[in-house]
Amino acid sequence: MRRDDKFIEEFSRTQGNLPHWEDVGATYFVRCALQRPATIDLTAPCLGQIMVDALLFGDGARYRLYDYTVMPDHLHAILQPAATAGTTERITSVTYTLKQWTAKKINAALGRKGTLWQEESYDHIIRNRDDYEGKALYIFRNSQAAGLVDDPAKWPWWGRGSGCK
């Protein structure tokens, strides 16, 4: 990624395997998934904590975090990249940095090397209140739908950031 490609100043579309629509000030639903087949479990206690700490670390600085959940082989989050000096960081840059940092920490914690995340992440611009509420509910219920807990409120890797306060 070239340095001048890190920020957006107007609505844009980029294309990898998935299209990425980006807009200044937009809020996004994102999904980042491990390489297939997944060889680790992101919800192992030490790894889940690395993931949550990383999400919360960027909250208020690089983005406003709304809802998130860490699942065994992926994570979901709703976040809004921060605007600075009239520009907004690209969502692809935000997810790239998050994946890069967590891969380094997780690989160190497990004494392993190599690629952890799929190169591309899914992102969706939240269009309105109903869209947000639907995605937030999906995030909340994801652990229950996967059969990991009976009560999603008891999932230790679900939470909300500063955007919900």
The predicted-structure confidence for 28-72, as pLDDT tens digits, reads as follows 999 999 999 999 999 999 999 999 999 999 999 899 999 999 999
Contact 68, 53 (CB under 8 A): no
Q: Which helix (H) or strand (E) holds 57?
A: helix 45-58
Domain count, the chain: 1
Which range has the worst mean pLDDT, 19-23, 126-130, 155-159? 19-23
| Residue 15 lies in domain | 3-164
| Least confident window among 1-10, 60-69, 132-141, 154-163 | 1-10
Phi, psi of 78 (to 5 degrees): -115, 120
Q: Cα separation of 44 and 3, whole Å?
A: 35
Q: Which percentage of the chain shows pLDDT scores above 70?
A: 88
CATH number at residue 32: 3.30.70.1290
Q: For residues 20 and 88, what is the distance between their CA atoms, to the nearest angstrom?
A: 15
The better pLDDT of the pair 10, 26 is held by 26
CA–CA distance, 151 with 79 (Å, rounded to integer): 24
Q: What CA–CA distances, in Å, run from 45 to 25, 51, 111, 157?
A: 34, 10, 16, 9
The arithmetic mean of pLDDT across residues 138-159, rounded, is: 98
